[in-house]
Structure 1
Amino acid sequence: MAGYRDLLRTPGVARIIAAQLTARLPSGMTSLAVLLHIEQVTGSYGAAGLVLAATSVGQAVAGPVTSRWMGLWGMRRVLSITLAICATAIATLALVEMPLPAYMVLGLVAGLSTPPIQSAVRTIYPKMVNSRQLTPLFSLDASLQEIIWIIAPVLVTFVATQIGTVEALILIVVILVGGGLWFILSPEVGRVRIPRSRRSIGKVLAKPPVLLATVIGFLLIGGCAAVEAGVVATFGHSGLEAGLVLAVFSIGSLAGGLGFGHIPIGPWAMARRMGIFTLGLLLAVVSLDVWWLGGTLFLAGIGIAPALAVLFAMTSASVKFSETAEAYGWIGTGQLIGAAAGSAVAGFLIDGVGPQGAYMAAAAFAGIGFLVAVVFVRGFPDLRGRDASPIPDTEPVSTIT
């Protein structure tokens, strides 16, 4: 923990972490709020599902595109424009009654205009700390993002059920705008300029570490999404146990990230961390008892944030600085598709064999991810004693002050 305290004392680090977590808090709130609001307005969960699907498609398509735009037009310009469009779309969704196709279009627009804050901040990090601090910073970031998944669903559900779904969506807009402006106006966002990439979009996926990070991110988050579906199916939407078990799952990830953040990342780091995740999920299949699930999912959670830290560090170390934002955009898209796939597979298995099917699906996603990490271990860079910063671009880059 002393290492993390030193890291947070580095000028600007604590502020930029707090700003980006606040700006990203709506990512843990929007899907649930939209689901509750559209269901209330239309009386149909099917209609709500269509709007959510449109939003997810928009987010998946936008990830690498808007991230790449930051190299063309600058971080602040892209973040400001996308923030304004996204906030307007969500506010309109909340305040204006309209036919289902119009709701779907608004959901798509909100998804397409989701500000690429995650790509931006992980592009900024290597410019804020020295090479020794970068890997622990990625680990701290991956750990603290669990706060989003612990706080956000509870907060938005409370507001939606106790006050109203319109108010829940407006709360999201307020946090999105407030947190987004805090991040955009941070000095580091103005100082760091991403060079224009000379390669066509998608070429960065030809780099094995980026492709592996995208694939394993898909499988990792797919497993997490299946767990969430399984826990809700096990204890019911209104069961207090569901919220507590999912909170324990996230706390396990937080503990794992903080505990393993100082460990150097070698080629086998991903396999070990995915192995912990897989073992916990395999054990979860054994029993649906609340205490057993809590313990096994805590164990599984210990591998999540450390695995994400490996993804971020290996990506940073394997691409040119001009390609980092797009690379993180593709990884984000892989995770979004993984979340949709995990939820869908778990849903079918819950209908077919019961809640245990969801944990079987989660274990399968995790197990495949573990096998990928083992079979393609040579594609993972050895970052022990090595700088995880991006490869410098060869041309001089001007700095905006």
Structure 2
Amino acid sequence: MRTPGVARIIAAQLLARFPSGMLSLAILLHVERVHDSYGAAGLVLAATSIGQGIAGPLTSRWMGRWGMRPVLLLTITVCAAAVTTIALVEMPVVLYMLVALIAGLSYPPVQPAVRTIYPKMVTSRQLTPLFSLDASAQELIWIGGPVIATFVSTQISTVLGILLAVIFLLAGGVWFVASPEVGRIRIPRTKRSFGTVMKRPPVLLVTAVGFLMIAAAAAVEAGVVATFGHGGPEAGFVLAIWALGSLASGLALGHLPVSQWSLPRRTGMLFVGLALATFSQDFWWMTISLLVSSIGFAPALAVMFATVSASVRFSDTAEAYGWVGTGQLIGAAVGSALAGFLIDSAGPVGAFWTGGAFAAACVLVATLFRRASPDLRGREAGPIADTEPVALPPT
């Protein structure tokens, strides 16, 4: 944090990404109020997620072609306009879905941008701890975002709940874009075709592990809400403690060197905690179980970010992070959907079975394919430099 610009970049990107923790709940509550249907609200949210999933690697790749600032300013403007339209204009469900799709397609690629910038801001020794700090700090989005969105939407107005997210998006986005580091760092234009970066085993591994890990988390979140219902604050307390535990573990373990066994060990802690949660839905048992699982959550994300950074050329870094983000978005959707089906058929414990199964698969994949992950002990975690032949004049 003493490195010039690091604190500013972390704060700006957190503010710009804060709507990620707000918009789902705010839009859900708003569309449900307008159409008196959670099914309709779910369709609108699905359209948003589909848009984000498609746009993730695409807009990230654009930053290498047109520069970070133009792409970020364009996406921030379009996304803010689309989300504001959802808040202020009452429409049929189909039109809500269309506007939500536009909002998802234009969601600013701040996360790929900042993780592309980090290797150019700090030394190689500091990079893995910085990724860990970033993974920990993003838990603040999932602690504060849902609380603010729910309170404002239920106690004041659903319109204001969405507009508040737009304010965060614009303020944080402009602050991030105006940061000197964003203008100073230029991503080289990649010469490889779209999607080629996914042929690299480390990127494929991280995308698969991210999909399974976030699917497990989404299933457990659904299970916590289903266990305690909407009548009390217990679900909010459990999820907040889970996020705080992840934040603390990321800060505590961020200095550890990354080896090929780091990802299996850290996802293993996630699995142990989620497996324990299947034995009882008592408040304290669930809280302690999820605290155990949180020991591996942010540290595993930090390993994944460092793995991508050390495994691809600098020109491909943003696109690679875009694909990883798309995998996580798909994981969240699949995990929530499967958990919902099992909650209907087996009760809340079905969601914890789902989360435990995804976590077990996550550990299995991370272990079987650990050799695809680079051993970063004693070596730089920064991206591979882009090089090309240089024509020399005849002598």
Residue aligning to 2:34: 41
Deviations 1:143-198 (A, max 9, x none): 01000000000001000001100011111111100010000000000000001111
Q: Does 1:242 align with 2:235?
A: yes
Q: Distance in 2 between matches of 1:34 and 1:322?
A: 35
Counterpart Cα distance in 2 of 1:99 and 1:343: 25
The CA distance in 1 between the partners of 2:37 and 2:277, in whole Å, is 33
Deviations 1:295-332 (A, max 9, x none): 00011011110000011000000000000000000000
Indicate the residue corresponding to 1:67 in structure 2.
60
* 1:167 matched residue in structure 2: 160
C-alpha deviation, 1:78, in angstroms: 0.1
Do residues 350 (structure 1) and 343 (structure 2) align? yes
- Could you tell me how far 1:291 is from its partner in structure 2? 0.2
Distance 1:252 1:203 in 2: 37
Distance 1:97 1:261 in 2: 46
> Between the two proteins, what is the percent identity of the paired residues?
66
Residue 273 in structure 1 maps to residue 262 in structure 2 = no
Write the mapping of 1:363-374 to structure 2, written as runs, cut at 5 A: 363-374=356-367
Letter in 1 for 2:45: L
- Structure 1 residue 58: Cα displacement: 0.1
Q: How does 1:10-29 map to 2 (within 5 A)?
A: 10-29=3-22
1:202 aligns with 2:189: no
- What is the deviation of 1:395? 4.5
The 1-side partners of 2:93 and 2:239 are apart by: 32
Code of the aligned partner of 1:301? S
Q: Which residue of 2 aligns with 1:308?
A: 301
Equivalent residues in 2 for 1:2-151, closer than 5 Å: 8-151=1-144
Q: Who is 1:3 aligned against?
A: none
> How far did 1:237 drift?
2.2
Equivalent position of 1:184 in the other structure: 177
- What SS does the corresponding residue of 2:365 show, helix, strand or coil? helix
Secondary structure class of the residue paired with 1:9: coil
In structure 1, the partner of 2:322 is 329
- Which residue does the alignment assign to 2:220? 227
Q: Describe the superposition over 1:47-83 as per-residue Cα deviations: whole angstroms up to 9, x where unpaired.
A: 1111001000000000000000000000000000000
Alpha-carbon distance between aligned partners in 1 of 2:311 and 2:285, rounded to the nearest angstrom:
40
* Separation of aligned partners in 2, 1:377 and 1:176: 37
Q: SS at the partner of 2:308?
A: helix
Q: TM-score, normalised by structure 2?
A: 0.98
Tell me the amino acid that sits aligned with residue 139 of structure 1: S
Report the Cα distance in structure 2 between the residues aligned to 1:274 and 1:237, rounded to whole angstroms. 30
User: C-alpha separation between the residues in 1 aligned to 2:81 and 2:368?
Assistant: 46
Matching residue of 2:393: none
> What is the correspondence of 1:370-385 to structure 2 with a 5 Å cutoff?
370-385=363-378
Corresponding position of 2:206: 213
Q: Distance in 2 between matches of 1:240 and 1:101?
A: 34
Runs of 4+ in 1 over 4 A off after TM superposition: none
Query: Please, which runs of 5 or more residues in structure 1 have no aligned partner?
Result: 1-7, 397-401
Aligned length: 389
Q: Which deviates further from its counterpart, 234-243 or 284-293?
A: 234-243
Q: 1:75-110, CA deviations, whole angstroms, 9 ceiling, x for partnerless residues? A: 000000000000000001111111111100000000
